[in-house]
Amino acid sequence: MHMSNESLLVVLMVGLLAGWLAGQIVQGTGFGLLGDLLIGILGAFIGSWLLPQLGIHLGMGIVAAIIKTTLGALVLLLIIRLIRGGGGWRRSWGRRW
């Protein structure tokens, strides 16, 4: 599969935006540039697989890609939160002091 430079840039920008949006929704803050990008790209894979399994088809275009990727990133972050025990670092940080 050959991907042009423009296509790669679009994928990276959609992943970054979706990772940032998911970070804002789930935790209230982002995860930094690389963290948001990684969450967004993994979310794109999850969203591309999960939504058709559920019978949800958003169509084509950049807006549909952002929504699908953000939903996948939200699922990823919620799974991570369940595995880590819900409170994450904020709860343990408060216990130290």
pLDDT value for 75 = 92
Q: What's the one-letter identity of residue 8? A: L
Structure tokens at 76: 């990823």
pTM of the shown model: 0.75
Q: Which residue has the tokens 């990276």?
A: 12
Has residue 28 got a pLDDT over 80?
A: no
The pLDDT tens digits for 66-91 are: 999 999 999 998 888 888 776 554 54
The dihedral built from the CA positions of residue 21, 23, 28 and 34, taken in this order, carries a sign that is: negative
Where do the domains of the chain lie? 5-96
Closest by CA position to 25, among listed 82, 83, 75: 75
